[in-house]
Amino acid sequence: MKSRESNGNLSKTVEDYLLSVYTLASEGRTVIAARLAETLEVAPPTVTATLHRMSRDGLIAISPTREIGLTEIGQARAETMVRRHRLAERFMTDILGLDWAECHEEAHRFEHVISPRVEERILAVLGDPTTCPHGSPIPGTGARIAIDAQRLHGVGAGSHIVIERISEEAEDNRELLEYFQRSGLLPGREFDVKEIETYNELILLGQGDQSVPIGMAAAQKIWVRVVDPPAPASVAAQP
């Protein structure tokens, strides 16, 4: 496992920016200042000024096309923040019993005060988890994003899928997370893609007798893998 160094004297604001750049990039999204402003809900001039300081401090690099990437130092510090955030989520659900849909918001308050020593203890108490409650890998544990994972809205009708993880974009929407939780749309759960109503922008998932409708916009925030359906239960021979 990678060394877990403290993030030194980085401000909470810079830590939030590092976390956002890391998570946006891991979702396959191009990171630009306008997208960070939207994600962090701050004014564009504020984002520009903060990014300038981060570039000066060697945490990020900005390309000629204004795309933002993490430097080696920035990547290491971002991984520390992401690891502590996802460990905080796991601690709050597994130990404190907080609701799956609310742990993301609470973890944002807690992640900034986790020291390397506390981080080690949380890992030990939790039994060295490799993912957060929403299925995202915890940096430094060896866990990786599955290369065959794709967003649900791109899966064809008739497929059998297993939910891999919930997008970080969805984690900022408490109401959407609550719907996912009520509907059983959780990491590890398997469903059949029954219908895709493109005219209605709706996907109908099935699990046994249960049907779960989900809009295309929400389906973009669920990462899944297409897998073989379970073998049918054998039927005892009739006398």
| Each residue's pLDDT expressed in tens, for the chain with a length of 239 residues | 333 444 557 888 999 999 999 999 998 889 999 999 999 999 999 999 999 999 999 999 999 999 999 999 999 999 999 999 999 999 999 999 999 999 998 898 898 889 999 999 999 999 999 999 999 999 999 888 889 999 999 999 999 999 999 998 898 889 999 999 999 999 999 999 999 998 999 999 998 888 999 999 999 999 999 998 887 765 554 55
As annotated, the residues of the chain forming the CATH 2.30.30.90 domain(s) are 150-226
CA atoms in the 13 A half-sphere facing the CB of 142: 3
CA angle (145, 103, 51) in 5-degree steps: 65
Do residues 56 and 82 make contact, with C-beta atoms less than 8 angstroms apart? no
The single-letter DSSP state of residue 97 is: -
Give the relative orientation of helices 33-40 and 44-56 as an angle to the nearest 10 degrees.
110
How far apart (Å, rounded) are the C-alpha atoms in residues 113 and 91?
A: 14
Which CATH number is associated with domain 6-144?
A: 1.10.10.10
As annotated, the residues of the chain forming the CATH 1.10.10.10 domain(s) are 6-144
φ, ψ for residue 223 (rounded to 5)?
-95, 130
Fold of the 150-226 domain: SH3 type barrels. (2.30.30)
